[in-house]
């Protein structure tokens, strides 16, 4: 009796297995269809046992089993693009004036928070507006002037009646200039400095570019009593015939000033000479930013 029951059970198992195999019997690469989400199955023309799946929009994977990053249309006001390296992720190309990971925020820079001409607005990682200020401006909105030109006070060896204005960034060099004059036993008579750029809206003057930003000086050398010792003709000679004047000129390089025999009696700090391919427009812009709108520098 037990034997008969065992045979019946074994037979039933074989019949069930045969029925299952028959129902899911493999015919070719597309039968049964391995592609999900109603995607199209395409047989390999060279091997009917192989196939590929042509996914509908919004799905990816070998069998189109995964949703793409753009499936749920996450970009509110922009174009969604799936990332090729991993189609489950996406990035949005926002419409003009729209920002944010999902293009769901109006660009704060459209409200023009940066007030100074030439300032540039960009967004930080929190989509907060940040202003990049042009030279001469500062503050969160570039609405404050950052004037670097100041009056050169407490000089003892400059024989100048009008006030002298220099760039505070190189104030130390002007102090050393005053000390060098004392060391050589002379006084310096300024002919042109920053303070003598009277017309603040003047066009570019190629001859005067060393004086635009308060970092240049044209001078003559006087003796201790204020008598002319060496003018531009004298300063252009090699060697300079007056020992005291020669002492002063020879010491200029040591304290960081540039002097050329081609322009006798003219010095500059060297930081703005022939920059940007020799564009004098740069010098003029720097001059404007450091002067216009700042302290009244009329003499």
CATH code for position 210? 3.30.1380
Question: Same domain for 232 and 274?
Answer: yes
* pLDDT value of residue 1: 52
Q: 153 and 286 in one domain?
A: yes
Q: Are residues 248 and 285 in the same domain?
A: yes
Q: Is residue 11 part of a domain?
A: no
Residue 118's CATH number? 2.10.25.10
3-state secondary structure at position 149: strand
For the chain, what is the radius of gyration of the CA atoms?
41
Distances (CA, A) of 219 to 56, 227, 272: 81, 14, 19
Domain match, 191 and 232 both: yes
**Has residue 4 been placed in a domain?**
no
Helix (H, G, I), strand (E, B) or coil at 214: coil
Q: Note down the domain range covering 140.
A: 107-146
Residue 215: the pLDDT is 76
pLDDT of 270: 72
Residue ranges, the chain, pLDDT below 70: 1-24, 135-136, 161-162, 194-214, 271-299
Q: How many domains does the chain have?
A: 2
């Amino acid at each position: 009796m037990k034997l008969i029951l065992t045979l019946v059970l074994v037979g039933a198992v074989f019949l069930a297995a045969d029925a299952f195999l028959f129902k899911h019997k493999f015919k070719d690469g597309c039968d049964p269809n391995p592609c999900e989400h109603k995607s199209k199955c395409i047989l390999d023309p060279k091997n009917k046992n192989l196939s590929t799946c042509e996914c509908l929009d919004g799905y990816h994977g070998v069998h189109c089993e995964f949703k793409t990053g753009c499936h749920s249309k996450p970009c509110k006001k922009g174009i969604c693009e799936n990332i090729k390296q991993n189609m489950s992720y996406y990035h949005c190309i926002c419409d003009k004036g729209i920002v944010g990971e999902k293009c769901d925020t109006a660009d704060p820079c459209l409200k023009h928070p940066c007030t100074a001409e030439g300032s540039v607005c960009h967004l930080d990682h929190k989509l907060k507006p940040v202003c990049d200020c042009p030279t001469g401006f500062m503050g969160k909105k570039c609405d404050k002037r950052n004037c670097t030109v100041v009056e050169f006070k407490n000089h003892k060896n400059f024989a100048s009646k009008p006030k002298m204005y220099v760039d505070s960034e190189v104030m130390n060099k002007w102090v050393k200039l005053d000390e060098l004059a004392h060391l050589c036993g002379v006084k310096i008579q300024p002919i042109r400095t920053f303070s003598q750029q009277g017309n603040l809206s003047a066009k570019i003057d190629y001859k005067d570019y060393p004086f635009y930003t308060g970092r240049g000086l044209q001078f003559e050398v006087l003796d201790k009593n204020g008598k002319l010792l060496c003018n531009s003709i004298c300063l252009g000679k090699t060697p300079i015939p007056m020992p005291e004047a020669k002492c002063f000129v020879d010491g200029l390089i040591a304290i960081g000033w540039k002097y050329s025999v081609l322009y006798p009696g003219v010095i500059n700090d060297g930081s703005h000479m022939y920059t940007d391919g020799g564009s004098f427009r740069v010098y003029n812009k720097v001059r404007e930013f450091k002067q216009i709108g700042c302290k009244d520098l009329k003499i």
